[in-house]
Amino acid sequence: MGRYDHAAYVSLTMEFRCNLKCVHCMIEGTMDRLAPESDAHFEAVLAQNARERRWNGLILTGSEITLRRDLPDLARRARASGFEHVRIQTHGMHLGQASFCRRLVEAGVDEFFVSIAGSDAESHDGLTLVPGSFERALRGLETLDAMEGIATLTNTVVTARSYRLLPGIVERLAHLKRLTQMEFWVYFPMAERDEKDLVASHAVLLPYLREAVLRARALGRAVEIKNFPECLLGDLGDALVNGQPELHIDPDFWREFERNGFYQCVHRDACASRECLGLNTAYIAKFGTEADLLRPMRGRRRAAI
């Protein structure tokens, strides 16, 4: 179970440039033609929230949001309009500059959602394809850890190349006292086939995922797992949280996203899960329907889809 109420946040995609080359990037094929939300739309969301108080928090995201030179100004405007929290979702490279961290905090950013791909420089940089990216992100997290009133979160994409690293990632970040939540997003391609061979078998990655969740919880951290069958998690099923803040993004993104074809579980009609996304097209093409491995959940009302 997560620490944050997703319904209390709205997320605006304000940039579509990135200075990493992550092997697991979901939008590398569409980034050049996706348009960020306009300044006019940004102002409209601020005005709406000032009137209605619909959300407590604003998330500024993109690929990569810290490439916007006016990011501090966006944060100041959001806080001035009444948002209680401003979060940025980032790969963390620019947070390696302590002065940049301070500028963002002074502007009103109080939550930092940082992507961590590996458990050390070799594994992380091998997935981002940019030397030094791990050390800079870690340095940023440590800088923020010394600041009052700040919360940090981490996100790790779980692929065939990274699932063995999950427990080590938790341990490497164990010293961070302001790290409130760790999220593990099981990879899926926005396509019908796993062309990069990054999709990992659920049964193979499960022991590492379980160990990471248990270690993180032992440190007092909330955990969210995304895109994994709930029935396989057993007593850790409450860690599956597929809900997200309301996302404002170029509609072309959703047309590509729909290619993944979630909810393809043979037990779907009998399952009571409120969170599970079942299997996707690329997973089934690689591993089959796994009808004997998956089991329908019992005893809870199934959410409408």
What is the predicted pLDDT for the residue at 302?
38
Q: In the predicted model, what is the mean pLDDT of the chain?
A: 94
Residue 304 clears pLDDT 70, i.e. is over it:
no
pLDDT band at residue 203 using 50, 70 and 90 as cut-offs: very high
DSSP secondary structure code for residue 93 in this structure: G
CA distance 223 to 1: 6
Helices marked H in 219-289: 230-233, 251-257, 281-287
Say what percent of the chain tops pLDDT 70. 97
Residue 197 clears pLDDT 80, i.e. is over it:
yes
Span 262-291, average pLDDT:
95
Domain ranges of the chain: 6-260
Chain segment 207-218, per-residue pLDDT in tens = 999 999 999 999
What is the predicted pLDDT for the residue at 63?
83
Q: 76-100 in b/e burial notation, b at 16+ Cβ within 10 A?
A: bbbbebebebbbbbbbbbbbbeeeb
Domain range 6-260, CATH class: alpha beta
Chain segment 85-108, per-residue pLDDT in tens = 999 999 999 999 999 999 999 999
Chain segment 244-270, per-residue pLDDT in tens = 999 999 998 888 888 889 999 999 999
Q: Which residue has the higher pLDDT, 30 or 75?
A: 75
Tokens of residue 106, six digits: 């002074």
